[in-house]
Chains A and B, each alone.
Chain A
Amino acid sequence: MKNVMSNKYVIALYTLPALLLILTLIYIPIVLSGYYGFMDWDGIGQMTFIGMDNYITLVQDKMFWTSTWHSFLLAIFSTASLLLYLAISLVLASKIKGSDLLRKIYLIPMLLSSVAIAQLWMKIFDPTNGMANKLLEMFGVENTPIWLADPDIALYAIFIPVIWQYAGFYILIYYAALKNVPDEIIEAAKIDGASSLQIAYKIKLPLISGVFKVTIMLAVVGSLKYFDLIYVMTGGGPNGASEVMASYMYKEAFKLNNFGYGSAIGFGLLVIALFMTWLISKLTKSKDDVQF
């Protein structure tokens, strides 16, 4: 009777189309990316095998390490901002009125396309007519910054909309996790005389530590491969001041037609992202993880 559910043809029919798609469009390309890294190739003509040259150049390429550092800076900022979101979620989840509406308002930027967000924030950062400088002028600031055109500020200016974009997403995750904490535990603690701060610190936070680890992973890996806003807002400029790994790869391949070297950068990005995934899961692993 059970044979129907182990029919090999049906299994193949159901899984092969999807499997074929991810193998051809995800797994084979990452292998090819490493392989193209050994080539001198303009994307159209013949590939010439040049051995390790691209990878040696990559390791010595200052711009690559600068862009890697910028990606890591974004990762640090995004991870630090998680604490703010966690604090907000703790308040939101403590049965206050309007938390549902607030949570949804926070989420709105996450629903917009990166292009719309980038174009909007380019207007906000407009040195003469943008909202940012008009606000600063209202508060009496005289030498208003030129934001995206200033090499010292550009990168950090872009962090603002990136963090703005994702805030609601993380708050949503924490909120969902906090709502999963069983009411009985909180009630029991209250009866024992625990203050709300104690409940937050000693009960709620430890109980959602698993989710917190997931969000650290999402924030770090998401930051390392971040591309959209930077590409649209500054293209990595001025003069490389806001270049990150993915934008550097894109520029080398699709602007300068160095497809071989671009592939080497893309492969470097893959290795760094997977290494960080492994490292974080290693560092945050603990035996007493609470499971719901």
Chain B
Amino acid sequence: MSELSTQPAATTFSAPHKTKKSYLNKIGFGFLYLILGLFAVIQIYPLIWLLFFSLKTNQEVFGMSPFSLPQDPQWGNYTKAWTSGNIGVYFFNSVWVTVLSVALTIILASFVTFAVTRMNWKLSGLVLGLFLVAYMIPLHSTLIPLFNMYNRAGLINSPVSLVLSYTAFNLPLTIMILLGFYRTFPREIEEAAVMDGCSVHRIFFQITLPMTVPVLSTTAIINMIYNWNEFVFVNTFISSDNWKTLTVGINNFVGQYLTDWGAIGATLVISIVPILLAFLFLSDKIVEGMAAGSVKG
């Protein structure tokens, strides 16, 4: 009753008001768009500038405006970056260290999350707590003891030290993301499988793991980005050129070519292209993973 009587009155009153308001709104929105756009330029332009100077000669970089396009693209800068120095080796090391660590992290994290959320045991809360608290521990406080441990185990200068460290330090976040998914996911199928006399391993590998593929891919991408970009562990544990990954490799390489802007730019572009390509095709997954890791924490 009351709805019927108030609704028309409300619209007639606000109608003249609304046109003036929407006019003001338009100006306001235009202004806000300008700010948002400006912010986008600030976020992206340094990278465009990098791409430009990776294709320029030193004379062009030094003499011309930072907004000028490369006049005669110097693709030679890229050949120089790839062939001189060890970029190819670093690149390959980054790929397989990343892939191995991501695979290990995801399978171990899935085991733990499954055991904690699906199986019944007294200490599950404590064990989960250990993983979650580990997330708050600054990596730098562990660096010296880790260096000493690896040194004694003969793992300094071995990529094994990297794979182990990446896996250990990414487990907490990965478990946190998986946990959110497992907790909301219905258990009926698994319970039915128990009734049918399935073994735990079969339930895990044939039912649970396939069902969690969407969240597994999200965590895989997040892990991939973190491992690909990791710097401190490689810088501390690896000094042999044969085992360096791209981050430390390019840092040393770029350090040697202080004055050759083109080669430096090309090296940096080569190092970031895989991540940008991944982002181009998987941006929704990446966005989802980054949000999940923090909000649910």
Contacts and interface: CB of A to CB of B under 8 A. Distances in A.
Nearest to B199: A4
Chain A CB within 10 A, most for which of B139, B143, B271: B143
A116 B287 contact: no
B142 A106 contact: no
Given A26-B168, A108-B44, A113 B228 contact: yes
B236 interface: yes
A160 B109 CA distance: 35
A153 interface: no
Main secondary structure of the interface of B (DSSP, over half): helix
Contacts of A259: 144, 148
A164 interface: yes
- Most chain A C-beta atoms within 10 Å of own C-beta, residue among B33, B144, B194: B144
A96 B108 contact: no
Interface stretch (B34-42, B69-77, B211-219): B34-42
A19 B130 contact: yes
Interface in B46-93: 46-47, 49-50, 53, 61-62, 65-66
Interface string B188-222: 00000011001111001000000000000000000
B291 A111 contact: no
Interface string A240-260: 000001100110011000010
A18 B119 contact: no
A227 B164 CA distance: 21
B9 to A, nearest CB: 13
Contacts of A33: 141-142, 144-145
A169 B247 CA distance: 21
A176 B293 CA distance: 12
Interface in A1-39: 1-2, 4-8, 10-11, 13-15, 17-19, 21-30, 32-33, 36
Contact of A104 (B141, B204, B283): B283
A29 B142 contact: yes
Contact of B279 (A106, A108, A123): A108
A176 B291 contact: yes
Interface residues of A, number: 95
Contacts of B66: 131, 134-135
Contacts of A92: 36
A91 B31 CA distance: 11
A225 B137 CA distance: 10
Interface in B152-170: 164-165, 167-169
B103 interface: no
Nearest to B140: A246
Interface residues of B, number: 94
A78 to B, nearest CB: 14
Nearest to B110: A14
Contacts of A269: 138, 140-141
B142 A128 contact: no
A83 interface: no
Contact of B247 (A21, A96, A115, A277): A115
Contacts of B230: 113
Contact of B115 (A14, A22, A29): A14
Given A26-B169, A129-B261, 20 more contacts: A6-B119, A11-B119, A17-B108, A19-B130, A21-B164, A33-B141, A96-B32, A111-B279, A114-B231, A115-B229, A116-B250, A120-B47, A131-B66, A164-B46, A168-B43, A218-B294, A249-B140, A250-B143, A254-B236, A263-B145
23 contacts: A5-B194, A5-B200, A6-B120, A6-B121, A19-B130, A21-B168, A26-B134, A105-B44, A112-B229, A112-B272, A114-B247, A119-B251, A119-B264, A120-B47, A123-B50, A167-B43, A221-B136, A232-B231, A250-B140, A250-B143, A266-B140, A267-B141, A273-B138
Interface of B: 29, 32-33, 35-37, 39-40, 42-44, 46-47, 49-50, 53, 61-62, 65-66, 108-109, 111-112, 114-116, 118-121, 127, 130-131, 134, 136-149, 164-165, 167-169, 171-172, 194-195, 198-201, 204, 225, 228-232, 235-236, 246-248, 250-251, 254, 261, 264-265, 268, 271-272, 275-276, 279, 283, 286-287, 290-291, 294-295, 297
Q: Which are the 8 A-B pairs with shortest beta-carbon distances?
A: A113-B229, A29-B142, A29-B145, A32-B145, A225-B138, A25-B168, A270-B141, A14-B111
